[in-house]
A and B are shown apart, each in its own frame.
Chain A
């Protein structure tokens, strides 16, 4: 019976050690993921998270090696063996009625012990949930540039403009609100400096899908009798002649270059993303009626250089 008792304690010690290693592995994973989140935010290599993780594992292993009181740990985990197991173990080499009775009782209790009683299942569940949450956070942070968001959080106007530009780059057009009201019209966020930048009051050309000229509507994409958010056409001077310069918000955009006294002429701007060779790109071809204008323009630039 004495030998059986000693074997049972040794077996329990092995199970305990296995559970401790499992908990250590769980902790190491959570530690790695936590530091991986920090590395992702800081745009550093995720492999750097291994350093604190390895440090933690080494420290934890050395601490557990020092505190290798198996009997005390078993007693703590199972309340009903409190003080009894230690007493039986410390006196395992003594032979008398009372010690035999104690060892018999404790052995019986140990037979009813389950390995799961050594594990804090709630804590393990929390660690699993934390791991999943951290993995998800890493995935989200990989897509969103958190630093940019944090830098621009307080500049709402700039943030929205940047988001709009990002959407434009991806070909997402901003639709007018129902009723045709321009969401930006009357926006309190447009400042005087913005007006100066745009060269006009708020309003102007409406963005929208290219529907082609509206009969009798004055033409132009999204043109409206109401004020254009992009402001009045600003004039560019080429060879001393004022040239109307309207920026189109369409994908690829349209650049209108016209003389004040001449009819509006449209020149299709080249879409950099859809660029094909000059031989195949019909839109890239400049009509004969525009050749002189463009030629003069570049000759002027060369002359200035």
Chain B
């Protein structure tokens, strides 16, 4: 972890500036997003948490709930490059990472030039990732993990920050390739997008059936986003809160907990413990605090754990929902 000693004075000053204005920054981001998106405050907070922790997130919801719109709006507000990748069964790995193309130079010579794929961006929205073939999925996941793309003998580093938001459609699962559990584990959070309330839906109708198209303003720069990512890592956590997070993750393993054994086939890995702490740090920072509380851990437990737990047959038969299992585990911890 970087401490102030490893940073230059200039960097430290910039960090202080960003830290001082952080609480206000979140409110302004929320205000700008609300010009375009009605409601979904929890989704916006969780997406910001994923960005600030320099991680990736899965977004699940029915079509037409504004998933793409939210991500695009956040990218605009944060002055980040945004690209969208529509995953289909015929998607090739080179369609994700990029490929070499032959190009004729001015002196009529032909040479290979690397054409960057959509992955060379700051925020990538991979729509319906479960529709892509496992080969294409693995190309994307490798880029997510390594933050670089290798073609032939050449390695290309991806720009920073790099954030992948992959969506999954919970309906129409026929002919899809669900992400394997080992790959799903690489996403920090699984964010559920639900239907808006009645008042919110009326606002949506007003927003998109009027004469004017809502416009947003830039709130934070790319450099500031990266500084916020550094500040997130600097957030202090007490030993008690760390223990709490680890207890929660361990309580999801059937061999550690009777409750987990009665509901789950597999529990969360140590990646979940890391995810809980990181997400809680970002949440504390977003809310203008300089310490992480147990409440932060409890709040982020749902998006961090829900895609890492596998229900057993009995629970699936009874229609048990993963979030209910997480609630029971939190009561015990």
Indicate if A157 sits at the interface (CB-CB under 8 A): no
On whether the beta carbons of A102 and B291 are closer than 8 Å, the reply is: yes
Nearest CB of A to B290, in Å = 4
- B4 contacts across to A, CB distance below 8 A: 95-97
- B294 contacts across to A, CB distance below 8 A: 83
The complex places the Cα of A97 from the Cα of B290 at a distance, in Å, of 10
Best-surrounded residue of A88, A89, A91, A98 (most CB of chain B within 10 A): A98
| Given A97-B15, A97-B16, A98-B231; A90-B239 close (CB under 8 Å) | yes
Best-surrounded residue of B231, B235, B237, B292 (most CB of chain A within 10 A): B235
Task: Name B19's closest neighbour in chain A (CB-CB).
Answer: A97
Indicate if B234 sits at the interface (CB-CB under 8 A): yes
Indicate if A43 sits at the interface (CB-CB under 8 A): no
- B3 contacts across to A, CB distance below 8 A: 94-96
- A86 contacts across to B, CB distance below 8 A: 238-240
Indicate if A105 sits at the interface (CB-CB under 8 A): yes
- B12 contacts across to A, CB distance below 8 A: 97
The complex places the Cα of A296 from the Cα of B5 at a distance, in Å, of 123
Point out the residue from A87, A88, A90, A98 that lies within 8 Å of B234, measured CB to CB.
A98
The complex places the Cα of A238 from the Cα of B97 at a distance, in Å, of 140
On whether the beta carbons of A102 and B238 are closer than 8 Å, the reply is: no
Indicate if B241 sits at the interface (CB-CB under 8 A): yes
- A90 contacts across to B, CB distance below 8 A: 236-239
Query: How many residues of chain A get a CB closer than 8 Å to chain B's CBs?
Result: 17
On whether the beta carbons of B290 and A98 are closer than 8 Å, the reply is: yes
On whether the beta carbons of B290 and A102 are closer than 8 Å, the reply is: yes
The complex places the Cα of A84 from the Cα of B235 at a distance, in Å, of 12
- B16 contacts across to A, CB distance below 8 A: 97
| Given A96-B3, A97-B4, A97-B234; A87-B15 close (CB under 8 Å) | no
Which residues 69-119 of A sit at the B interface, judged by CB distance below 8 A?
Answer: 83-84, 86-91, 94-99, 101-102, 105
On whether the beta carbons of B292 and A87 are closer than 8 Å, the reply is: yes
The complex places the Cα of A105 from the Cα of B291 at a distance, in Å, of 11
- Place the interface of chain B in its size category: 20 to 34
Residues 176-192 of B, flagged 1 when their CB comes within 8 A of A and 0 if not, give: 00000000000000000
Point out the residue from B5, B19, B231, B238 that lies within 8 Å of A87, measured CB to CB.
B238
Nearest CB of A to B274, in Å = 18
Please report whether the interface of chain A is mostly helix, strand, loop or mixed according to DSSP.
helix
On whether the beta carbons of A97 and B231 are closer than 8 Å, the reply is: yes
Point out the residue from B15, B236, B293 that lies within 8 Å of A91, measured CB to CB.
B236
On whether the beta carbons of A96 and B234 are closer than 8 Å, the reply is: yes
The complex places the Cα of A86 from the Cα of B241 at a distance, in Å, of 10
On whether the beta carbons of B239 and A88 are closer than 8 Å, the reply is: no
Best-surrounded residue of B15, B238, B241, B293 (most CB of chain A within 10 A): B238
On whether the beta carbons of A84 and B291 are closer than 8 Å, the reply is: yes
Nearest CB of B to A287, in Å = 100
The complex places the Cα of A102 from the Cα of B288 at a distance, in Å, of 12
Task: Name B237's closest neighbour in chain A (CB-CB).
Answer: A87
On whether the beta carbons of A98 and B238 are closer than 8 Å, the reply is: no
- A99 contacts across to B, CB distance below 8 A: 234, 236, 290
Point out the residue from B5, B234, B235, B291 that lies within 8 Å of A83, measured CB to CB.
B291
On whether the beta carbons of A95 and B5 are closer than 8 Å, the reply is: yes
- A101 contacts across to B, CB distance below 8 A: 19, 290
Task: Name B5's closest neighbour in chain A (CB-CB).
Answer: A95
- A88 contacts across to B, CB distance below 8 A: 236, 291
Which residues 215-262 of B sit at the A interface, judged by CB distance below 8 A?
Answer: 231, 234-241
Task: Name B295's closest neighbour in chain A (CB-CB).
Answer: A83
- B241 contacts across to A, CB distance below 8 A: 83, 87
- B5 contacts across to A, CB distance below 8 A: 95
Task: Name A91's closest neighbour in chain B (CB-CB).
Answer: B236
- B231 contacts across to A, CB distance below 8 A: 97-98
Nearest CB of A to B186, in Å = 27
The complex places the Cα of A99 from the Cα of B19 at a distance, in Å, of 12
The complex places the Cα of A98 from the Cα of B294 at a distance, in Å, of 18
The complex places the Cα of A88 from the Cα of B235 at a distance, in Å, of 11
Nearest CB of B to A82, in Å = 8
Residues 31-67 of A, flagged 1 when their CB comes within 8 A of B and 0 if not, give: 0000000000000000000000000000000000000
Nearest CB of B to A218, in Å = 94
| Given A83-B241, A86-B240; A98-B235 close (CB under 8 Å) | yes
- A83 contacts across to B, CB distance below 8 A: 238, 241, 291, 293-294
The complex places the Cα of A141 from the Cα of B4 at a distance, in Å, of 72
The complex places the Cα of A128 from the Cα of B16 at a distance, in Å, of 53
On whether the beta carbons of A98 and B240 are closer than 8 Å, the reply is: no
The complex places the Cα of A84 from the Cα of B291 at a distance, in Å, of 6
Nearest CB of A to B299, in Å = 14
A-B contact pairs, 19 of them (CB 8 A): A83-B294, A86-B240, A87-B236, A87-B241, A87-B292, A89-B238, A91-B236, A91-B238, A94-B236, A95-B3, A96-B3, A97-B12, A97-B234, A98-B19, A98-B234, A99-B234, A101-B19, A102-B236, A102-B291
Given A83-B291, A97-B231, A98-B231, 11 extra CB contacts under 8 A:
A83-B293, A84-B291, A86-B239, A87-B236, A87-B241, A87-B292, A91-B236, A95-B3, A96-B234, A97-B16, A101-B290
List 4 A-B pairs, minimum CB-CB distance, nearest first. A91-B236, A87-B291, A87-B238, A96-B234
